[in-house]
């Protein structure tokens, strides 16, 4: 663990109430790229200010529940933080079609609260989109998405009173950081994942937020490379060093 950056170089105790727990996972098969090995550096946090997390995003960290983590792979650096500069973003023709296709969708911004309806939707999403590697208990669902150490928003997407999808995002001083989105597979033809990103980028614009953080981008990964379609965008290539991804 000697190559793990000390916590106080990332975030000070004045910025967050945190546990001193630090963990580097053992190597395991990479979920995104074949023939690669992955490992992560992770910290447990009890409380996290938005400004502190914004700085951590610029050092490659992401949040899941009350854990902040970043890749610490020995021979690969393909997992890169990606963000969309809101004011310069331009939807493509296909994205505009997605917006029109979902013009009848209503979106409600609420405080994140789990319930059984959302959990049932989440399970249906996992069954359609993922293998059995993700735990399917109600407790893990709450811990993963709803136990947040910081200011977090939930966007509920509905069609004529029926819950179609739910998106979780962290509110930052200058942006919005996407955590996760799950949706009803019956509505997959509407491209709800794409629509949620487009709606939330527009939310940032209306709220005067400069960036929409879309998560890790992995070039060559069939499940992660779609993020490059939201242009212009920037990827993190070093601490606090963002560059535009070539078109």
Query: Residue 79, exposed/middle/buried by CB under 10 A (0-12, 13-18, 19+)?
Result: buried
Categorize the per-residue pLDDT at 18 as very low, low, confident or very high, splitting at 50, 70 and 90.
very low
For range 38-52, the mean pLDDT: 93
Whether residue 203 contacts residue 108, with contact meaning beta carbons closer than 8 Å, is answered with no
Whether residue 73 contacts residue 31, with contact meaning beta carbons closer than 8 Å, is answered with no
Q: What pLDDT is attached to residue 22?
A: 75
Query: Residue 59, exposed/middle/buried by CB under 10 A (0-12, 13-18, 19+)?
Result: middle
Percent of the chain with pLDDT over 90: 78
Q: Which residues pair with residue 18 across a beta bridge?
A: 45
Q: What pLDDT is attached to residue 129?
A: 85
Angle formed by the axes of helices 192-207 and 93-101, nearest 10°: 90
Q: What pLDDT is attached to residue 21?
A: 59
pLDDT, the chain, mean: 90
Q: Above 80 in pLDDT, residue 205?
A: yes
Categorize the per-residue pLDDT at 120 as very low, low, confident or very high, splitting at 50, 70 and 90.
very high
Question: In the chain, count of helices (H) and strands (E)?
Answer: 5, 14
Respond yes or no on whether the N-terminal peptide bond of residue 237 is cis (omega within 30° of 0).
Answer: no
Other Cβ atoms closer than 10 A to 141 = 19
Q: What pLDDT is attached to residue 14?
A: 34
Q: What pLDDT is attached to residue 209?
A: 98
Categorize the per-residue pLDDT at 131 as very low, low, confident or very high, splitting at 50, 70 and 90.
low
Q: Above 50 in pLDDT, residue 13?
A: no
Q: Above 50 in pLDDT, residue 11?
A: no
- What does the alpha-carbon distance between residue 143 and residue 234 come to, in Å, rounded to a whole number? 30
Q: What pLDDT is attached to residue 222?
A: 82
- What does the alpha-carbon distance between residue 103 and residue 177 come to, in Å, rounded to a whole number? 24
- What does the alpha-carbon distance between residue 136 and residue 108 come to, in Å, rounded to a whole number? 26
Q: Which domains does the chain have, with CATH numbers?
A: 1-247 (3.40.630.30)
Q: Above 80 in pLDDT, residue 5?
A: no
User: What confidence tens digit (pLDDT) does each residue in 63-89 have?
Assistant: 999 999 999 999 899 999 999 999 999
Dihedral pair phi/psi, residue 182, rounded to 5°? -130, 150
| DSSP tag of 145 | I
């Amino acid at each position: 663990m000697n190559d793990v950056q000390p916590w106080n170089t990332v975030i000070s105790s004045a910025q967050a109430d945190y546990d001193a727990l630090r963990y580097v996972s053992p190597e395991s098969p990479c979920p995104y790229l074949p023939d690669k090995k992955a490992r992560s550096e992770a910290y447990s946090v009890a409380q996290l200010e938005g400004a502190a997390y914004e700085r951590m995003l610029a050092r490659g960290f992401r949040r899941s529940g009350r854990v902040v983590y970043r890749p610490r792979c020995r021979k690969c650096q393909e997992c890169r933080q990606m963000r969309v500069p809101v004011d310069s973003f331009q939807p493509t023709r296909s994205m505009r079609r997605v917006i029109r296709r979902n013009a009848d969708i209503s979106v409600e911004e609420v405080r994140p609260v789990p319930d059984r309806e959302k959990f049932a939707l989440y399970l249906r999403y996992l069954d359609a989109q993922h293998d059995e590697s993700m735990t399917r208990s109600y407790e893990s669902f709450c811990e993963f998405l709803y136990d947040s150490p910081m200011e977090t928003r939930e966007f509920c997407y509905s069609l004529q009173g029926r819950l179609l999808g739910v998106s979780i995002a962290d509110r930052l001083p200058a942006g919005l950081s996407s955590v996760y989105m799950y949706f009803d597979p019956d509505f997959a033809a509407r491209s709800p994942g794409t629509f949620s990103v487009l709606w939330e980028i527009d939310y940032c614009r209306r709220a005067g937020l400069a960036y929409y953080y879309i998560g890790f981008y992995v070039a060559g990964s069939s499940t992660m490379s779609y993020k490059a379609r939201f242009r212009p965008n920037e990827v993190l290539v070093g601490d606090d060093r963002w560059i535009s991804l070539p078109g």
